[in-house]
Amino acid sequence: MSTGYIHFTDEQKEIARQTDIADLLRRQGETLKRSGSELEWRDGSQKVTVRGNLWFHQYDQKGGDAIDFVRRFYNKSYPEAMEYLLGGCGGTLTVSPPVQRKPAKPFALPEKNENMRRVFAYLLNRRGIDRDVLYAFTHKGMIYESADYHNAIFVGFDQDGIPRHAHKRGSGSESAYKGNQDGSLPEYSFHWHGTSDRLYLFEAPIDMLSFISIHKNGWKAHSYAAACGVSDQVLWQMMKDNPKIQKVYLCLDSDEPGQAAAKRISDKLFTKGIQHEILVPIHKDWNEDLLYPAEEMEEETECMQPML
């Protein structure tokens, strides 16, 4: 198969992505086992859940579509995976030798700016975050302004107080930049450990701060986490580090990707017998709810009352 650059159309990418993984595996002589509404395939001794064109590795807590599957489990390049899938999965799919990859960069926090004027202005004025809530996080060194691009930096610490994750958000008036610092560990993304039995999971740090600003009364007693995406790794790490947590509130965005992730995480919580609820913002996300409160949010809605 070719390994050079090949242009694939959006239609071809979607066709390849939608390939049924169970059918692909059966063509390779693999055995799958029924598990409820899903199928299970073994990656050595590890279990991989398969549903249509999607897969999820239970040990690594990672998943993807059919293209990701061929690349991951057969060590194929993107063009090789695309050509195979677009060719109808014909022939034997051999495992290629592992690709030599550059070693991952060690994690290091971005250098701090001498002050936080731009980040304070961004979070307080543009994002509407409550001043007391923001100060609680900055006092613990969990939010600061970077020296290079004046980004807002949201730091995640491990149980020993060592920084392990940093999410960067542009603070400029025209900036839409966001991303994680190289070497960040997703299981330690931006979070707050409380003393109650409640954990609230969000997609982004600003959503988390917005929700707390809306429901400020007694907020420090609860635990909160921002996945900086739609992964659930920080959720499981927090439950491991804080055995008091007994109930999880999934507070992801109201759009299709956010609610699909909420359903996926909800299914896993259900299978583990963990009490949980899905809370959906009225607008797209919790920051929009903070900035543009609907009339029904002037008083807490019935579904919110049990949380505080």
At 112 the pLDDT is 97
Mean pLDDT across 195-223? 97
Locate 130 and state its tokens. Answer: 């409550």
Buried b (16+ CB within 10 A) or exposed e, 247-280: bbbbbbbbeeebbebbebbbebbeeeebebeebe
Mean pLDDT of 193-215: 97
Superfamily name with CATH number, domain 10-86: Zinc finger, CHC2-typedomain (3.90.580.10)
pLDDT tens string 219-247: 999 999 999 988 899 999 999 999 999 99
* Mean pLDDT (whole number) for 140-161: 96
Is pTM beyond 0.85? Reply is no
Residue 103 has pLDDT above 80, yes or no: no
Run of H or E including 224: strand 223-226
Q: Beta-carbon neighbour count of residue 302 at 10 Å?
A: 8
**Residues 150-171: what's their mean pLDDT?**
96
Q: What is the pLDDT of residue 2?
A: 43
Query: CATH top-level class for 117-307?
Result: alpha beta
SS3 state of residue 9: coil
Half-sphere exposure of 13 (CA within 13 A, CB side): 7
Q: Of 65 and 37, which is predicted with more confidence?
A: 65
In the chain, residues under CATH classification 3.40.1360.10 are: 117-307
Strand 152-157 to 223-226 pairing: unpaired
Distance in angstroms (rounded) separating the CA atoms of residues 84 and 86:
6
Strands laid side by side in the 33-35 sheet: 33-35, 38-43, 46-51, 54-57, 62-64
User: Is the pLDDT assigned to residue 1 strictly greater than 70?
Assistant: no
pLDDT of residue 196: 97
Between 123 and 2, residue with greater pLDDT:
123
Distance, CA of 169 to CA of 147 (rounded, Å): 13
